[in-house]
C-alpha cells in the first residue's frame, strides 16, 4: 500500500492553500482503501499507523515516539493541531449560533449586506405594470475585524519525553477549549455592539425580575425570524431555569441526561459565562451571524519539529460579522 512509501517532510506544511492532511491525501487518497481494514482512516491516521504511533488509550505512546525518525517528527505539528481542534469542536457552542462559516487566505475580508429591513421581509403584492421591489446586495463599509487567539507552548523535550501522548492530548484539548471560549465572547460582542457597520443590536428593557412572559415577548419581537437560540450569562440562566415553566418532566429529563436546555417554545438555551448580568440575547441562528476564519489551527511547525517543542505557538485567526441585524434581539432586565 502506498502510505508506507510516502516521504514525509516539513515542507508539506508550506503548500499554499492546502493543509498538511490535504497534501497527504493527494499522495495517498483514502478512496484507495475502500473495503480494507483501513477504511475510515484519513491519510494522516494511516501515517500514524505506519510509524506505530498510538496517540490515545491506555496503551498510548510517549511523546518521544514522534521523534524516533525525521519523517515521524514531521507528523507532530499536525497531531498538535488536531488535538487543539478537537478541544475547540467538543466544547464550543459556536456552531449553534453561526449561520455560515467563511474561510479566507488573507487578513482582509469585507462581507456583504442586503440592507433588508422588517418591511422587506414581507413581500407585497405587485400589481400589473408595477416594478418588482428590489433587494440591493452590496459590500459592507467596514472590514471584518479578525482576532488572533492562541497559546504559547513552552517545554523542553526532556520534560515531555516520558509523558504519555494520551495525557498530553488532554492539555492540548484544553488549549482548544480556551480558544473556543474566547471566540464565543467575540461572537457575542459582535451581536451586541455590531461589527463596525453601525448595526448594534436592538434592545428592549423590562422592569423588575425576569419573567417567563418577558421571554415570550422576546420570541414575539424577533418575528418574522425564528427564535431558536437564547444566549444568557450565569445570572440569567439561573433565573430562567428556576422558572416554573422550565420544570416540566420532559425538560428536566433532557437536562439531566444531556446537559442541554430547551425552552418551552423550542429555543436552545446556551450558557455564556462572559455575558454580564441583566442581558439576554435571542437570535435566529440561520440568519444572524457569519464566522470568518483566516486558515485553521496554526502551529509553528519548524520549532515543533526541529527544536522538539522548546517554544511554539498554537493560534487561530477569526472574526464575526452580522448578516441580518434584525435576526438578533436583546432583552435587558433589572438585576
Average pLDDT over residues 308-335: 87
What is the pLDDT, as a whole number, of residue 249? 44
Percentage of the chain beyond pLDDT 70 is: 85
Model confidence at 238: pLDDT above 60 = yes
Q: Which of 16-25, 211-220, 261-270 has the lowest mean pLDDT?
A: 261-270
Helix 76-91 with 43-50: angle, nearest 10 deg: 130
Average pLDDT over residues 169-192: 93
What is the pLDDT, as a whole number, of residue 56? 87
More confident of the two residues 261 and 131: 131
What is the pLDDT, as a whole number, of residue 47? 95
What is the pLDDT, as a whole number, of residue 6? 92
Say whether 170 sits in a helix, a strand or coil. helix
What is the pLDDT, as a whole number, of residue 139? 77
Residue with grid cell 418591511, as numbered in its chain: 119
Most confident of 52-61, 107-116, 146-155: 52-61
What is the pLDDT, as a whole number, of residue 205? 94
For residues 226 and 2, what is the distance between their CA atoms, to the nearest angstrom? Answer: 51
What is the pLDDT, as a whole number, of residue 253? 46
More confident of the two residues 10 and 256: 10
51, with CB counted inside 10 A (0-12, 13-18, 19+), is middle
What is the pLDDT, as a whole number, of residue 152? 83
Model confidence at 122: pLDDT above 80 = no
What is the pLDDT, as a whole number, of residue 262? 65
What is the pLDDT, as a whole number, of residue 254? 54
Average pLDDT over residues 84-96: 89
Q: What is the mean pLDDT of the chain?
A: 85
Long-range pairs for 215-222 at CB < 8 Å and ≥24 separation?
A: 215/240, 215/263, 215/265, 215/280, 215/282, 215/331, 216/265, 217/331, 218/280, 218/282, 218/329, 218/331, 219/265, 219/267, 219/282, 221/282, 221/329, 222/282, 222/283, 222/284, 222/326, 222/327, 222/328, 222/329
Model confidence at 133: pLDDT above 90 = no
What is the pLDDT, as a whole number, of residue 299? 84
What is the pLDDT, as a whole number, of residue 256? 46
Model confidence at 288: pLDDT above 70 = yes
Average pLDDT over residues 286-298: 91
Percentage of the chain beyond pLDDT 90 is: 50
The reported pTM is 0.84
What is the pLDDT, as a whole number, of residue 120? 57
What is the pLDDT, as a whole number, of residue 1? 64
Average pLDDT over residues 263-289: 91
Amino acid at each position: 500500500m502506498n502510505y508506507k512509501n510516502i516521504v514525509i517532510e516539513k515542507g508539506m506544511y508550506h503548500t499554499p492553500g492546502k493543509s498538511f492532511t490535504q497534501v497527504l491525501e493527494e499522495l495517498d487518497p483514502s478512496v484507495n482503501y475502500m473495503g480494507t481494514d483501513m477504511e475510515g482512516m484519513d491519510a494522516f491516521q494511516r501515517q500514524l499507523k505506519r510509524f506505530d504511533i498510538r496517540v490515545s488509550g491506555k496503551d498510548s505512546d510517549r511523546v518521544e515516539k514522534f521523534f524516533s525518525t525525521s519523517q515521524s517528527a514531521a507528523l507532530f505539528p499536525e497531531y498538535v493541531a488536531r488535538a487543539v481542534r478537537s478541544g475547540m469542536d467538543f466544547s464550543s457552542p459556536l456552531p449553534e449560533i453561526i449561520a455560515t462559516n467563511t474561510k479566507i487566505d488573507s487578513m482582509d475580508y469585507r462581507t456583504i449586506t442586503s440592507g433588508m429591513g422588517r418591511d422587506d421581509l414581507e413581500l407585497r403584492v405587485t400589481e400589473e405594470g408595477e416594478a418588482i421591489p428590489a433587494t440591493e446586495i452590496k459590500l459592507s463599509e467596514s472590514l471584518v475585524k479578525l482576532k488572533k487567539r492562541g497559546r504559547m507552548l513552552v517545554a523542553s523535550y526532556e520534560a515531555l519525553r516520558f509523558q504519555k501522548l494520551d495525557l498530553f492530548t488532554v492539555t492540548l484539548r484544553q488549549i482548544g477549549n480556551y480558544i473556543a471560549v474566547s471566540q464565543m465572547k467575540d461572537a457575542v460582542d459582535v451581536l451586541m455592539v455590531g461589527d463596525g457597520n453601525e448595526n448594534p443590536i436592538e434592545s428592549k428593557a423590562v422592569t423588575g425580575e425576569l419573567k417567563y412572559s418577558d421571554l415570550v415577548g422576546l420570541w414575539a419581537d424577533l418575528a418574522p425570524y425564528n427564535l431558536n437560540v437564547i444566549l444568557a450569562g450565569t445570572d440569567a440562566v439561573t433565573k430562567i431555569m428556576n422558572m416554573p415553566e422550565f420544570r416540566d418532566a420532559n425538560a428536566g429529563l433532557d437536562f439531566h441526561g444531556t446537559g442541554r436546555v430547551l425552552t418551552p417554545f423550542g429555543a436552545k438555551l446556551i450558557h455564556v459565562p462572559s455575558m454580564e448580568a441583566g442581558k439576554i440575547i435571542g437570535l435566529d441562528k440561520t440568519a444572524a451571524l457569519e464566522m470568518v476564519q483566516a486558515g485553521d489551527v496554526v502551529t509553528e511547525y519548524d520549532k515543533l519539529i526541529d527544536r522538539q517543542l522548546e517554544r511554539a505557538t498554537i493560534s487561530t485567526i477569526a472574526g464575526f460579522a452580522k448578516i441580518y441585524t434584525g435576526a438578533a434581539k436583546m432583552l435587558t432586565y433589572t438585576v
